[in-house]
Every structure is written in structure tokens, then in C-alpha cells.
């Protein structure tokens, strides 16, 4: 049943990560004039700050407009509603995140290293973009209400990539086929996102990006039959 003679056959993770990195076309409006294009970016940045500070529900369009230096009604020339404005933010950044992962992940040789990279990058990306992370992890990710296909899909890609990496690793014989890929993926994603959320809410660990590698090492022991014991810094 073992087939070691299939090193590069169907790399699930590549296919999924490529699609995820490409996503994010067809935004609500594509400004023709350059002033407008600049304003749209200002608007997105202002919205990110206000949403991160007040939460989507409590944030006022008036505050966002002031912060962006435009009028309230102009916002509606860019996005049909407050929610659509909020959703655009993770959609764009997630695609960028997946693209960065793809670029760095290609260069690696094992699924184990790619898994390590992906989880580490998730923490680093959050540490580098705290406002965006607040919005994504504390407001949008868990929300029941989001049927908006583009957001849902961008978020789901996160899980799909982790599952694909775990399965690809099993295919390559980097760990046992007995492991349930969904269970392992749940543990990996859950632990990292929980660490990020704890950091966002309580500021602990103080150095999120610094703590991530140790966490990831600890987690990866789970995919080994019997992990080594050195890395629990």
C-alpha cells in the first residue's frame, strides 16, 4: 500500500494556495480617476482603524468619513454598505498573505517546513498588522452572518491550505497516514488563532512573532510518532 515512488504527485497545497492568492478580483468599484483610486485606499485604511477600535457594529460611518477626509455619502459611492466596506479589508489582505506564503513556500522542500512557515507567517502577519488582525480574528472570522461569498471563501482558504499541507505531508511519507488531517488541522489552526486572539485581547505574549516559532515547534510534535523534546522554549 505504501508508495514512496510518488514524490511530486498532485500537490494539493499548491493548487489551493494559488487560487487563494489570486482571489480578490472584482471589488465593488474600480475607480477610473487616479484621485479616486488614492481615496479608496485612504478610505480602506481609515475604515480599518475605526473598525478595529470600535468594532464593526459600533463604528460610525461619520467617523470613518472624517478619518478618511471625505463625506459620509461619498463612502457609498465606493461600497454599498458598511458591511461591504468592512469585508473588503480582509479580502484584500488575505489574498496578499496567501501570495506571500506561496512565494516563500515554493522555495521549501518538505511539507513540514511549509506547515511551519504558514503558521509562523500567520502570527507574524497579525503582529505586523494589528488593526487588520483585530478586524479579522475578533470580528469577521467567527461571524455567523457572513454569507458574502468572497469573504467566506477567503477565510475558508486558510483552513483548506492547512488541511492540504497535512495531507500532502502524509502522502509524501513525512508522517503517518493514520493521522486524521482534519483533526490535526483543527489543532494547528485553533492553537495559532487562539494565540493571536489572546495577544490581541490581553497583549500576551508580549512578543507575538517571537513566541510563534516555539508554539509551532510544540505543535509539530503532534505529527511525529514521538517528537523530540528540545524546543519547548
Partner DNA sequence: CCCAATTCCGAATTTAATTCGCTTTTTATG
Partner DNA sequence: CATAAAAAGCGAATTAAATTCGGAATTGGG
Q: Which is nearer to DNA, 29 or 128 (CB)?
A: 29
Q: Does 230 bind DNA (CB under 7 A)?
A: no
CA geometry: angle at 86 spanning 63 and 91, to 5°?
Answer: 145
Residues between 51 and 90 with contacts to DNA, criterion CB under 7 A: 59-62, 70-74, 76-78, 80-83
Looking at residue 145, what DSSP letter applies? Answer: T
74 to each of 14, 36, 168, 230, how far by Cα in Å? Answer: 40, 11, 48, 57
Binding-site residue total for a copy of itself (CB under 8 A)?
49
φ, ψ for residue 58 (rounded to 5)?
-90, -15
> Are 64 and 16 in contact, with CB atoms under 8 Å apart?
no
Instruction: Write each residue from 151 to 180 as x if it is in contact with a copy of itself (CB under 8 A), else as -, in one continuous string.
Output: --------x------------------xxx
* 230 vs 212: CA distance, rounded Å: 16
Residue 66's binding partner, choosing from DNA, a copy of itself, none, with beta-carbon cut-off 5 to 8 A by kind?
Answer: none
Residue 150 contact partner, candidates DNA, a copy of itself, none, CB within 5 to 8 A by sort of partner = none
Helix, coil or strand: residue 219: helix
Q: Give the gyration radius of the chain's Cα atoms.
A: 20
Beta strand residue intervals within the chain, DSSP E: none
Tell me the C-alpha distance between 28 and 46, whole Å. Answer: 18
Q: What are the two backbone dihedrals, phi and then psi, of residue 82, each rounded to the nearest 5 degrees?
A: -55, -45
Q: How far apart are CA 112 and CA 169, in angstroms?
A: 7
Is 145 a residue that touches a copy of itself (CB under 8 A)? yes
Q: Closer CB to a copy of itself, residue 41 or residue 182?
A: 182
Taking CB under 7 A as the rule, does residue 147 contact DNA? Answer: no
The contact pattern for DNA, residues 12-51, with x = CB under 7 A and - = no contact, is -----------------x-xxxxxx--x------------
**Coil, strand, or helix at residue 59?**
coil
Out of 14, 99, 117, 138, the residue judged to bind a copy of itself by CB under 8 A: 138
Nearer to a copy of itself among residue 8 and residue 226 (C-beta): 226
Q: How many residues bind DNA (CB under 7 A)?
A: 24
Residue numbers of the site for DNA (CB under 7 A)? 29, 31-36, 39, 59-62, 70-74, 76-78, 80-83
Residue numbers of the site for a copy of itself (CB under 8 A)? 52, 54-58, 134, 137-139, 141-145, 159, 178-180, 182-183, 186-187, 189-195, 197-198, 200-201, 204-205, 211, 214-215, 218-219, 221-222, 225-227, 229, 232-233
Amino acid at each position: 500500500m505504501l508508495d514512496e515512488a510518488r514524490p511530486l504527485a498532485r500537490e494539493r497545497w499548491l493548487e489551493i494556495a494559488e487560487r487563494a492568492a489570486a482571489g480578490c478580483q472584482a471589488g465593488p468599484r474600480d475607480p477610473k480617476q487616479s484621485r479616486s483610486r488614492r481615496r479608496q485606499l485612504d478610505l480602506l485604511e481609515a475604515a480599518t482603524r475605526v473598525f478595529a477600535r470600535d468594532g464593526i457594529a459600533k463604528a460610525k460611518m461619520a467617523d470613518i468619513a472624517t478619518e478618511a477626509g471625505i463625506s459620509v455619502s461619498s463612502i457609498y459611492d465606493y461600497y454599498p454598505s458598511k458591511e461591504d466596506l468592512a469585508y473588503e479589508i480582509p479580502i484584500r489582505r488575505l489574498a496578499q498573505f496567501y501570495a506571500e506564503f506561496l512565494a516563500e513556500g515554493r522555495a521549501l522542500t518538505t511539507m513540514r517546513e511549509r506547515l511551519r512557515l504558514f503558521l509562523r507567517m500567520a502570527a507574524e502577519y497579525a503582529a505586523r498588522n494589528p488593526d487588520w488582525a483585530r478586524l479579522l480574528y475578533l470580528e469577521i472570522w467567527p461571524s455567523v452572518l457572513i454569507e458574502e461569498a468572497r469573504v467566506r471563501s477567503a477565510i475558508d482558504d486558510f483552513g483548506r491550505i492547512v488541511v492540504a499541507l497535512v495531507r500532502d505531508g502524509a502522502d509524501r511519507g513525512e508522517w503517518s497516514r493514520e493521522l486524521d488531517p482534519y483533526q490535526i488541522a483543527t489543532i494547528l489552526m485553533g492553537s495559532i488563532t487562539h494565540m493571536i486572539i489572546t495577544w490581541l485581547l490581553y497583549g500576551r505574549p508580549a512578543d507575538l512573532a517571537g513566541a510563534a516559532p516555539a508554539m509551532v515547534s510544540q505543535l509539530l510534535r503532534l505529527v511525529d510518532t514521538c517528537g523530540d523534546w528540545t524546543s519547548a522554549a
